[in-house]
Amino acid sequence: MGIRRVDSRLYDAEMRERQPLWTSSRRWSRNARRSSRRSEASRIGVLFVHTATQPPLGADTWVQSQIIAGLDKTRVDVHVACAFGPPAAPTPTFRAVQGIPDVHLFPVDFGRERSSAAAQGRWRGLMTTLPSLPSFIRLIRETRRQQISVVHTTDRPRDALASVIVARLTGSQCIIHAHVAFNPAWMSRMLQWAMKRADALIAISHFVASTLVDAGLDAGRVHVVHNGIDISGWTPGHGRDEARRELDVAPDIQIVLTVCRLFPAKGTTELLRCFASATAERPNVRLVVVGREMTPGYAAELAALAVELGVAEHVMFMGQRSDVPRLMAAADIYAMPSMYEPFGLVYLEAMAMELPVIALNNGGTPEVVEHSLHGLLSEPGNLDQLNAHLTILLDDPDRCRMMGRRGRQRAESQFSVAEMARSTEAVYRLLASSSEGDAKR
């Protein structure tokens, strides 16, 4: 059995089959009551487990919060176990989910995350994962009491291990949501152990799914559900003039924007070199670099390279910002030649803001950005091609606008939160039906 691409159309077909054919008020009433009972009986209890306590909110947890918000609460009974934190400083996860309607929150305390977890074996990791045994026991009791069918967590090692154990002790099914490619060189043994024992894995791209299967995980347990965004939160051009004034950029200046965590694999060094080459004949271009440093000294290294290349006055290093939509509105091109991006959520955000994308043709990127339609994809290591793509878009604003419009349409039609939530529910129902079949046998 191969990797499954979850198709939410199966969900829609099921909904159509369940619609009663009403021909009279009496039949309407009778069928409505039956439909209500069927709906209640088919409602699936799902527990999301997120025990992170430290900021910032990771993309994995943010995606989970979008799924939680997007699930149909008449079909899915949603519970979230997370660390609340003190009232004056709630955890990022608690802040992300506390305002979502019809969600039951349950506090857990597994202590602070430990960065040394990758070096631990599973039994030592288990002791790290469960510093608060009473909290873990309460979580098991709550899972049983709420009749949870599915425990859904991310590929954070502690959460993955705890969720597998909770599912095993309560008869639930465990899903681990894989947001990064499988790599035993840095993945903890705790996480690898949990992945091998989870009932299902959701991969955010076919690329990530292929790495799971290549690592020996059963392809029949792997399901692909692409990330989605709430398109209403991304309005092309909104705040453009104000943002450009803040950046002190004249109307005739073109802005190339990159937003990413700053470490070498994101390709910022290569982008800077290509930018320097492109601006040799195009002085009215600026490169805006947004993101926090992940590799110590890398930001200073980039600044020194800008000086060395003679483009320091054309490059703005903004650090971490909370107003990325405004900065995207101010930009003309989004560029991030990242190596083996698992999915590229930021590409989707740029497309939603009608920006053409410059990226690499590897990882999960081609599943989001189609070459020549929504942007231009270079082959890894080919700086001449990357430079050519940058100059092509800088010299052709009409093509940029066309790509931007197509990108917005693609983000809206194929990568919505509603689609992501429906596809995730389809995995829940597949697991639930499989579990019921095993119980009958």
Calpha distance 9→426 (Å, rounded): 9
Grouping H, G, I as helix, E, B as strand and the rest as coil, residue 255 is strand
pTM, full prediction: 0.87
Q: Whole-number mean pLDDT of the chain?
A: 88
Q: What is the pLDDT of residue 387?
A: 96
Domain match, 156 and 11 both: yes
In a domain, 26, yes or no: no
Please give the angle made by the CA atoms of 222, 364 and 303, to the nearest 5 degrees. 140
Domain match, 253 and 289 both: yes
Query: What amino acid occupies position 90?
Result: P
Q: What is the pLDDT of residue 56?
A: 74
More confident residue, 49 or 12: 49
Distances (CA, A) of 329 to 67, 104, 234, 241, 404: 26, 36, 9, 9, 12
Region of poorest pLDDT, from 28-42, 143-157, 185-199, 303-317: 28-42
Domain match, 327 and 403 both: yes
Domain match, 245 and 222 both: no
Domain match, 208 and 166 both: yes
Q: For residue 394, what are its two tokens?
A: 């800088």
CATH of the domain at 282: 3.40.50.2000
Range of the domain at 427: 4-16+34-228+417-440
| Residue 258, pLDDT above cutoff 80 | yes
Query: In terms of Cα–Cα distance, which of 428, 189, 240, 234 is closest to 347?
Result: 234
**Number of domains the chain is built from:** 2
Calpha distance 349→374 (Å, rounded): 12
Q: What is the pLDDT of residue 338?
A: 97
Region of poorest pLDDT, from 43-57, 308-322, 394-408: 43-57
Q: What is the pLDDT of residue 203?
A: 98
Domain match, 387 and 296 both: yes
Q: For residue 266, what are its two tokens?
A: 């994101």
Q: What is the pLDDT of residue 116?
A: 40
In a domain, 29, yes or no: no
185-198 pLDDT, tens digit each: 989 999 999 999 99
Domain match, 220 and 253 both: no
Asked whether the beta carbons of 56 and 92 are under 8 A apart, the reply is yes
Q: What is the pLDDT of residue 440?
A: 47
Domain match, 41 and 88 both: yes
Q: For residue 435, what are its two tokens?
A: 């579990």
Q: What is the pLDDT of residue 42?
A: 81
In a domain, 21, yes or no: no
Q: For residue 380, what are its two tokens?
A: 């890894």
Q: What is the pLDDT of residue 34?
A: 40
371-427 pLDDT, tens digit each: 999 999 999 999 999 999 999 999 999 999 999 999 999 999 999 999 999 999 999
User: What mean pLDDT comes out for the span 218-239?
Assistant: 96
Domain match, 262 and 167 both: no
Domain match, 78 and 166 both: yes
Domain match, 314 and 195 both: no
DSSP state of 362: S
Q: What is the pLDDT of residue 7?
A: 56
Give the model's confidence band at 3: pLDDT under 50 very low, under 70 low, under 90 confident, else very high: low
Q: What is the pLDDT of residue 259?
A: 98
Domain match, 335 and 435 both: no
Give the model's confidence band at 433: pLDDT under 50 very low, under 70 low, under 90 confident, else very high: confident
| Residue 14, pLDDT above cutoff 60 | no
Q: What is the pLDDT of residue 39?
A: 46
Q: Exposed, middle or buried by CB within 10 Å (0-12, 13-18, 19+), for 293?
A: middle
| Residue 10, pLDDT above cutoff 80 | no
Calpha distance 278→280 (Å, rounded): 6
Give the model's confidence band at 55: pLDDT under 50 very low, under 70 low, under 90 confident, else very high: confident
In a domain, 28, yes or no: no
